Amino acid sequence: MLSHIPVETVIHDRQAEYYQVLAGSDRAADATGFIEFILSALKAAIDEIAETDQESDHVTDQVKRLLGVFGSGQVSAAELMSRLGLSHRPTFRRNYLVPALSQGFVEPTQPDSPRSPTQRYRLTAAGRNVARHPLPH
């Protein structure tokens, strides 16, 4: 169970707090604050997995395929379509991209400019979790 917890992601998202708690524990020569921080990070990760598992019960095969081809980093819609072997942009948007965006598995890099020609997309923590742990069919 613990091997599936994205602790590094949770800590990365709370990096400033992590270093602050670590420094405070070091100064006080007392690890209690650091242990409490790590336990709260683990709880947050477990809660995220539980929430994602509930959400992913409703993930279509198309969204699962999309999440599976993302890789790391930022990707354009054209590159995602290419990786999926798709050529019809409206179908891609309707069946793959829009559902993944609305479910919070994917986010745009330029949310204020959704039609920008330089728009890219990246997986969210929830999307990375579903991509790493696909549900059986």
- List the CATH number of the domain containing 113: 1.10.10.10
Residues 100-133 as b/e (b if ≥16 CB within 10 A, e otherwise) read bbebebbebeeeeeeeeeeebbbbbbbbbbbbee
The number of folded domains in the chain is: 2
* 137 in any annotated domain: no
Question: Do residues 66 and 126 both lie within one domain?
Answer: yes
Asked if residue 6 has pLDDT above 50, the reply is yes
Q: What is the mean pLDDT of residues 15-31?
A: 94
pTM of the model: 0.58
Domain that includes residue 6, residue range = 2-56
Give the chain's count of helices (H) and strands (E).
Answer: 8, 2
Question: Do residues 44 and 65 both lie within one domain?
Answer: no
The C-alpha atoms of residue 31 and residue 70 are separated, in whole angstroms, by: 39
Asked if residue 52 has pLDDT above 60, the reply is no
Backbone dihedral region for residue 102 (phi beyond 0: left; psi -120 to 50: alpha; all else: beta) = alpha
**Phi, psi dihedrals of residue 75, rounded to the nearest 5°:** -135, 140
* 116 in any annotated domain: yes
What's the pLDDT at 134?
A: 59
* 11 in any annotated domain: yes
What's the pLDDT at 50?
A: 67
Question: Do residues 95 and 128 both lie within one domain?
Answer: yes
Least confident span in 5-14, 63-72, 118-127? 5-14
Question: Do residues 32 and 87 both lie within one domain?
Answer: no
What's the pLDDT at 137?
A: 47
Asked if residue 80 has pLDDT above 70, the reply is yes
Percent of the chain predicted with pLDDT > 90: 54
* 20 in any annotated domain: yes
Asked if residue 129 has pLDDT above 60, the reply is yes
**pLDDT range class, residue 67, cuts 50, 70, 90:** very high
Question: Do residues 21 and 65 both lie within one domain?
Answer: no
